[in-house]
Amino acid sequence: MSSEDLELRRRAVAELGREMRALVETMARTETPTAVLEELAGEVKRLEARFTGRRRERAEVPDVDVFPFGLRMFSPATGHGSPIAPPMDIEETDCDGMVGRCVLGVVHEGPPGYAHGGLSAMLLDELMGWACAAKGLPAMTIGLDVRYQRPVPVEMPLLLKARVTGIEGRKITVAGSVCPEDDPETILVAAEGRFVAPDLDRARSLFPKAGTYAKFTD
């Protein structure tokens, strides 16, 4: 696939993902009559049949992705092609860390008006992984301690932070937090993650269809 075709495909995936997220959010918050819901279910079923072409095998990397730590279009945390992701946008900071920004919707609710706690954990886990990658150590989570200090409202711009606090061989420790974007001193969720960078043999075993392991360390 040429670079131009790849860019067009990524744009199409992102556009479809955006419309799918809008549909899912609308479904979650709209008290639509039962008869209409039944009709819509049939329409969605017919749309599903239009997704033609070869289906990816399990563990096969999508043709629009960059693996291990690059663009992941269908990630449930950051994927702009995902129908369930917020999605969180990530950038590296000047303070030796990573930040993420997102807004959780009604579809991400646990208690009414607030995000499910598992969403905070997932987003922090993702951002912490990016913090490891920024140190040149693509790594996998082996432990995550999460402290829920205040409930996380939906429909509020959030700021997430992650910073590597320790490296011992292949083991990395990362600190992270979730706060309101307009009040970054107020910590809603705090966490500490423990990660391990797999060696090349382990990476080949875990990701046999990835195609490249250049970013995993010896």
Residue 62 lies in a domain: no
pLDDT band at 131 (very low <50, low <70, confident <90, very high): very high
Residue 5 in domain: no
Q: Which of 11-20, 51-60, 69-78, 201-210 has the largest mean confidence? A: 11-20
**pLDDT tens profile 58-76:** 888 888 988 777 889 999 9
* pTM summary value: 0.89
Look up tokens 């549909």; give the residue: 23
Token code pair at residue 70: 């690059």
Residue 35 one-letter amino acid: A
In a domain, 30, yes or no: no
Please state the φ and ψ torsions of residue 147, each to the nearest 5 degrees: -120, 115
Decide: residue 154, CB within 10 A, 0-12 exposed, 13-18 middle, 19+ buried.
buried
Residues 210-217 have a mean pLDDT of 54
Is 178 part of a structural domain of the chain?
yes
> Where residue 191 sits, what CATH number does that domain have?
3.10.129.10
Say if 58 falls within a structural domain: no
In a domain, residue 102? The reply is yes
Domain residues for 149? Answer: 89-206
Q: Is pLDDT above 50 for 1?
A: yes
- Count: domains in the chain: 1
Residue 201 is assigned to a structural domain of this protein: yes
Domain presence at residue 33: no
